[in-house]
Amino acid sequence: MARLLIVHHTSSPSMQAMLEAVLAGAGTDEIEGVEVVTRPALTASAVDVLSADGYLLGTPANIGYMSGALKHFFDGIYYPCLEATQRRHYGLYVHGNNDTGGAVRAVEAITTGLRWHRARPPVAVAGEVGPRDLEACWELGATLAAELAS
C-alpha cells in the first residue's frame, strides 16, 4: 500500500480549514490503496519521510517565508532523506495574510534540492480562504493520492 505523508504547520483557522480539505481529498472513497499519514511539522521525522511514497506540505507564510516549524522539518530530514527520496512527488498549500510568494519559493528551493517533483502547482492563498481555495486544496489531496494509487 502506498503512503502519503501530510506534514503541516496548522497555526490558524485558515490553515485548519485547508488541512481538512486536503485530508478530505486525499481520503476520498474513490481512491484505494493509499494510507494517509498526518504529522505536525515539529514532530515529523526522517523515518516518516523515508516510509512515505509522496508528500503534502502545508505552511503559513510568515514574514515572507515558510513557517519556522516547516523549516525545522526540512532541517531534520534533508540529509538523511536526500538520496533515498529522489523523484518522489509532493504538493504544497500555503496561506498568508498578504503574500505567499516567499514561502512558496523557499519550499520549492528545498524540494528542488531534495529532487522531489511537484505533482501540481501549489495552492497559495493570500487573505481570506474561500470555497474555491478549499476546493483547490481538496483537489490537491485527491490528485496526489490518486497518483500514488496508480
Segment 34-43, tens digit of pLDDT: 999 999 999 9
Question: Where residue 150 falls among pLDDT bands split at 50, 70, 90?
Answer: confident
Rounded-to-integer distance, Cα 118 and Cα 143, Å: 11
The SS3 assignment for 1 reads: coil
Give the range of the structural domain holding residue 85, as residue numbers without chain letter: 7-149
Report the b/e string of 86-101 with b at 16+ CB within 10 A.
eebbbbbbbbbeeebe
* Rama region for 115: left / alpha / beta (φ>0; ψ in -120 to 50; rest): left
Q: What is the pLDDT of residue 135?
A: 98
Rounded-to-integer distance, Cα 70 and Cα 44, Å: 9
CB distance 111 to 70 below 8 Å: no
What average pLDDT does the segment 123-148 reach? 97
Rounded-to-integer distance, Cα 130 and Cα 86, Å: 34
Look at residue 19 and tell me if it is in a domain.
yes
What average pLDDT does the segment 89-105 reach? 96
Look at residue 126 and tell me if it is in a domain.
yes
What average pLDDT does the segment 77-105 reach? 97
Q: What is the mean pLDDT of the chain?
A: 97
Total domains in the fold of the chain: 1
Q: What is the pLDDT of residue 13?
A: 97
Give yes or no for residue 79 having a pLDDT over 90: yes
Look at residue 133 and tell me if it is in a domain.
yes
Question: Where residue 102 falls among pLDDT bands split at 50, 70, 90?
Answer: very high
The CATH number of the domain where 65 resides is what?
A: 3.40.50.360
